[in-house]
Structure 1
Amino acid sequence: MVVELNWISHRARLSAGEVAVVDGETNESFTFQDLDQRSTSLAYHLQQKGINKGDRVALISPNDLSYLDLLLACSKIGAIFVPLNWRLSTKEIEWILKDSRPSIVFYHSEYGEKVSGFDPKKTIQLDNEQYRQLVTTKDAPFYIPVEQSERDGLAMIYTGGTTGKPKGVILSHQSILWNAMNTVISWNLSKEDATLTVLPMFHTGGLNALTIPILLMGGKVVLSHSFTPKKATQLINEHGCTIILFVPTMYQAFIQSKEFQEHSYPSMKVFLSGGAPCPLEIYDAFKQKGILFKEGYGLTEAGPNNFYIDPEMAYEKRGSVGKPMMFNEVKIMTENQQEAKPHEIGELLLKGKHAFENYWNNPEATLETKRDGWLATGDLAKRDEEGYFYIVGRKKDTIITGGENVHPLEVEHCLVQHPAVVEAAVVGIPDSFWGEKVTAFLVVKQVVSAEELTSFCAEQLGRYKIPKSYHILEELPKTHVGKIDKKELKEMGLKMS
């Protein structure tokens, strides 16, 4: 039996001439009918090239319509879409290609060197006439529908690999569509909504957080290669964006920019932060301008959307990601495997049809992460008496110093309240006396002494939580998705100690 999983054709039937995607670099627009026709043409050509159900189709490109062309074409013929992280080194890309074994690789010329070791007969350049013909063949014979299940893989997104080799996360049709439907219903998205996708689309946040849910509802997606406050402001205002996801490091630059001070962003319903816990001063900056702002939470293996909070409530519950969405379950488990009480910290577990299927060729890691139907996130969280959840940090980032547990996020929130501090990251560095030494890395806008910072922290934190040392950097190292790279900071701390 052939199961119909081709939602884009149904949306094109309902919204044929409506604008679905705008290329923020060229200002070219594409309708839902365009998306359906392009992916249908590409699906046919992929089958002609011998791509069958379960085969991997890789892409390395800046944010571009080709992400949607390939994802939707794969959904039609049962192939698995593998977006590659262009920020990785050539050696790292080669490892992922060897692991995923794609049957074909599409690439933008900007990253041609990174796939130069792959069989040239199985590569196609995006920015040339050949690709244009693949997606715009008029009256191409229809692709051959294949028997598919909702649990079949649709996309494979590789994790960041900060603690070892990256893992290929298999997201099924079910995973992606239930995340989208849950987001639409819980967040009240409609065809009137528009978003700016500037997070890289090789990341689940760029592809699945808002892009797919808004297209599913018939809304508009504006694609941008890169982020600057000036460029983001221009695209938001020009295209009437209503909801946007940035990561905290983007917001740090955004709220300090001239554009943020000068514009009111009248079309925006809410700005959303994800990818990492958000510094509380970002809430303050938006509140002062009277603009709604809230946090979300997700990970490649789940969603990436899992909670909802009313933006009006977000200022009262600063730092909370809200309550579980309509169609997922959440619990917090303590170290002794008991469900946590209010304000008790434990590991966050998730359950729902939006969760990933498995790690590619890694059954051991799959069993470690999926436990009795629950997804163990590795993140620490707590909830209050009213059921609002707060992300405390990564389980592996917890610092044990002098026998006491220190959660870096609490210390970071304290440090960034100091008027001299722009950004802060706290890690534990091995120490013969303390076990681990609480160590802070800071970006500052004026000279500040360690004594002054220690005195400031002492007003808000227990003594054992106060950093034992401070290091001033020009810029905090970031991962490929804009998160602070604590692995690199720990390595720097070891060298400095």
Structure 2
Amino acid sequence: MHANLDWLQSRVNISPEKQAVVDAMTDDSWTYKELHERTNIIANFFLTKGVKKGDRVAILAPNHIGYLDFFFACMRIGAIFIPLNWRLSTDELTYVIEDSKPKIIGTAPSFLDKLQQTGLDADIIHIDDNHYYRTLNYEQHIFEVAMKEEDPLAMIYTGGTTGRPKGVVLSHRSILWNALNTIVSWDLGADDVSLITTPMFHTGGLNVYTLPLLLAGGKVVLSPDFQPKKAVEDLMKYQCTVVLFVPTMYHMIIQTKEFQEASFPNMKVFVSGGAPCPHKIYDAFWEKGIAFKEGYGLTEAGPNNFFIDPKDTIRKIGSVGKPMLFNTIKIVKDDGSLAGENEVGELILKGHHSFEYYWNKPEETKEVLKDGWVHTGDLAKQDEEGYVYIVGRKKEMIISGGENVYPLEIEHWLEAHDLIDEAAVIGLPDEKWGEIVTGFVSLKGDLTEEELIAYCNQKLTRYKVPKKFYFLSELPKTHVGKIDKGLLRKKVIKNSTTL
């Protein structure tokens, strides 16, 4: 085997007795040496079951040491690791399993029924506790698999909000370079500790901090579900130094008594990712004097692509910063030319951290990956100092009366209102204007549509002010906690009274 691809082995040689992983539910912990020993058992078991280079192995479980057992075992034998999204419906899960055809699926007891409902054939490993691996029968093998950096290592399925989920193939190179880029650009080291509550079936759970920290010799604390109160307590208990949450999680965290009373003496920085972050969340951290910043990424690239010093977030609120050391960005207009200063265009990315292809989808791959550049579908602008701001999704841009409207600007203004809990803005078909700007809000108090429109008029140009508002008790979310604008659009077009 190409020596530098099995970096867990190299890390074990350097710091065998250092604590690598902690289970936040049971308080069990494992050193790098113990993680390595678990990996060897699982790798031997896979080989005994006939798993060969390029075969797929899946896991369907809450955050658990099993993810790392399976991931590193696949790295060792050349198999492809697939973390399955347990929030998928049975129909969607069936599609993903049929598409990827894993030989083995590790599953938690809570998801066994769902897995069996798919009716699909695969060997099932029951991941019922932290010691599940001790019950597996296996023969000893020698790990001699010829591998190249561009060989697939993991396949993460995208959310599928625009159709069927796509399997994003990440190679050994993709994952290693994302980790290296993150360690160097974000200044991570062996003393860093992170709590992982974002699901590890998602690139944010696996690739933002988990794998970079394990490469750096740090420690990851795995939590199987997100409870805002417990998350705050765990950050304190395990003396975490860095953490990622999505905005929906932060929204819940900042409302807890535990957050308001906590001082987080060990935390270097809180990072938000997965969706644009409302400015009121920044405020909650700044009021406590705590460093907070926003990241940007996607499954197809990294997901880590930018760095911003938390000191700069106050004067550059909403910026994701500048490109990290080992990736390049461009902002391009529809005609392919480069956008000028503060001019909006599509963000495209390039680097060794980008994905190789979509599984079984050559046409979709060609649409997104062109000459090594990942076309993100996200609109961005770069200011005179080189700081990048994400403006919104290309597909979400509203054209009303010939004017381009970016929902994110309106959403930030709406969410700055004391009585608004969450907000979303979409464009709906209109005979006169082409599209009309439409707002959806959930409230903390009483607010009328007229008052909302008057509030928008204080800050927004007239054509950006929503012509219509819908009031909901809660905005619907996708599997990864983003507001589901597709569902909002479908509901209104189908029958506005259902809202």
Class of the TM-score when normalised by the shorter of the 2 chains: over 0.9
SS at match of 2:423: strand
Q: Which residue of 1 aligns with 2:67?
A: 67
Query: Matches of 2:53 and 2:443 in 1, distance apart?
Result: 53
- 8 A Cα contact 1:41 1:134, kept in partner: no
Pairing 1:373–2:375 present: no
Query: Matches of 2:149 and 2:226 in 1, distance apart?
Result: 35
Query: Matches of 2:20 and 2:297 in 1, distance apart?
Result: 25
Q: Which residue of 2 aligns with 1:127?
A: 128
- 8 A Cα contact 2:233 2:258, kept in partner: no
Q: Which residue of 1 aligns with 2:144?
A: 145
Deviations 1:434-483 (A, max 9, x none): 22121111111111011111111111111111011111111111111111
Query: Matches of 1:255 and 1:103 in 2, distance apart?
Result: 43
C-alpha displacement at 1:433, in angstroms? 2.1
C-alpha displacement at 1:432, in angstroms? 2.1
Query: Matches of 1:419 and 1:492 in 2, distance apart?
Result: 27
CA-atom RMSD, angstroms? 1.5
TM-score scaled to structure 2, two decimals?
A: 0.97
Query: Matches of 1:165 and 1:484 in 2, distance apart?
Result: 18
Q: Which residue of 2 aligns with 1:97?
A: 97
C-alpha displacement at 1:82, in angstroms? 0.6
1:405–1:127 CA distance, 2 compared to 1 (3 A): same
Alignment of 1:111-190 (within 5 A): 111-116=111-116, 117-119=118-120, 122-127=123-128, 131-133=132-134, 141-190=140-189
Deviations 1:89-147 (A, max 9, x none): 1111011010011111111110011211345661121116993226798xx62443200
C-alpha displacement at 1:282, in angstroms? 1.0
Query: Matches of 1:376 and 1:5 in 2, distance apart?
Result: 28
C-alpha displacement at 1:323, in angstroms? 0.2
Query: Matches of 2:181 and 2:122 in 1, distance apart?
Result: 41
Q: Which residue of 2 aligns with 1:28?
A: 28
Query: Matches of 1:257 and 1:136 in 2, distance apart?
Result: 46
SS at match of 1:163: coil
- 8 A Cα contact 1:51 1:79, kept in partner: yes
Q: Which residue of 2 aligns with 1:43?
A: 43
The letter for the 1-side match of 2:147 is: Q
The letter for the 2-side match of 1:131 is: Y
**Deviation above 4 Å: which 4+ runs of structure 1?**
1-4, 118-121, 134-137
Deviations 1:15-49 (A, max 9, x none): 11111010011110011011111111111110010
The letter for the 1-side match of 2:473 is: E
SS at match of 1:315: coil
1:52–1:134 CA distance, 2 compared to 1 (3 A): farther
The letter for the 2-side match of 1:312 is: K
Q: Which residue of 1 aligns with 2:396?
A: 397
Query: Matches of 1:419 and 1:75 in 2, distance apart?
Result: 49
C-alpha displacement at 1:76, in angstroms? 0.4
The letter for the 1-side match of 2:204 is: G
Alignment of 1:339-378 (within 5 A): 339-378=338-377
Q: Which residue of 2 aligns with 1:338?
A: 337
Query: Matches of 2:255 and 2:42 in 1, distance apart?
Result: 43
- 8 A Cα contact 1:42 1:134, kept in partner: no
Q: Which residue of 2 aligns with 1:422?
A: 421
Query: Matches of 2:270 and 2:350 in 1, distance apart?
Result: 26
Query: Matches of 1:34 and 1:72 in 2, distance apart?
Result: 13
Query: Matches of 1:194 and 1:128 in 2, distance apart?
Result: 23
TM-score scaled to structure 1, two decimals?
A: 0.97
Q: Which residue of 2 aligns with 1:472?
A: 471
1:190–1:134 CA distance, 2 compared to 1 (3 A): farther
SS at match of 1:316: coil
C-alpha displacement at 1:493, in angstroms? 2.1
- 8 A Cα contact 2:12 2:36, kept in partner: yes
User: What count of residue pairs does the alignment treat as equivalent?
Assistant: 495
Q: Which residue of 1 aligns with 2:57?
A: 57
C-alpha displacement at 1:4, in angstroms? 4.3
The letter for the 2-side match of 1:452 is: E
The letter for the 1-side match of 2:52 is: N
Q: Which residue of 1 aligns with 2:82?
A: 82
Unmatched 5+ stretches in structure 2: none
SS at match of 1:488: helix
The letter for the 2-side match of 1:335 is: D
Identity in percent: 54
Query: Matches of 1:445 and 1:385 in 2, distance apart?
Result: 38
Q: Which residue of 2 aligns with 1:216?
A: 215
SS at match of 1:484: coil
Unmatched 5+ stretches in structure 1: none
Q: Which residue of 2 aligns with 1:109?
A: 109
C-alpha displacement at 1:339, in angstroms? 0.3
Query: Matches of 1:56 and 1:383 in 2, distance apart?
Result: 40
Query: Matches of 1:416 and 1:105 in 2, distance apart?
Result: 42
- 8 A Cα contact 1:74 1:80, kept in partner: yes
1:450–1:129 CA distance, 2 compared to 1 (3 A): closer
